[in-house]
Amino acid sequence: MKQQILALSSFLLCITCSVETKAQQVPAFHIGIKGGANFTKTSAESSALEGKYGLGYHGGIMTRMDIGSLYVQGEALFNKRKTSYDSKEGSSPKLTWSSVDIPMVIGYKLVNMKDFNLRAFAGGVYSYTFKNNVSTSQALREGFKKFDKSNIGVTGGIGVDYKNFTADLRYETGLSSISKEFKSKPHTFSLGIGYFLF
């Protein structure tokens, strides 16, 4: 009985020390820059159009707060997105738009070493569109006359860090349509490479 009490006490002491150690960890704050490529297509309810992925780019700043193996990362990115459609009429209308995106994600370091991290993350994205252009299709131009400026989406992915360098592969999808008249949600894969200044 005494041995069981001693073992239980030792176990509880180890847990307490572990929790206190975690609580005493000072969050580390980092600021950096990043850029990369994105591949975007938009879904379309119209049976006459089929969305195709187009190549765009993004760039901006990022911040990260590390708390042990957990971290919170926020970004402010300029995004240029391009997509196109296959039409039954034989044309290939294109859609491009520019936006400022603010992703906010929570992540966990699956491998947490001094110079190398392997991460998984998920979160939300707020997007503000300020310029759009539709080519070669009168129907799309009519549909996008009222391009919604504000959109909300979700994102998730994996990433690696090596010293101050970082790279993310992520997927993002819109929760709302980019146009009320033309029901269409964007789907984006992006690859970003960044560098933490400190």
- Most confident range, picked from 25-29, 40-44, 157-161, 185-189: 157-161
pTM assigned to the model: 0.80
Question: What is the arithmetic mean of pLDDT over 13-34?
Answer: 63
Contact 34, 166 (CB under 8 A): yes
CA dist., res. 80 & res. 1, Å (int): 69
Contact 164, 196 (CB under 8 A): yes
Pick the CATH number of 27-196 from 3.40.50.300, 1.10.3720.10, 3.20.20.80, 2.40.160.20: 2.40.160.20
CA dist., res. 112 & res. 73, Å (int): 16
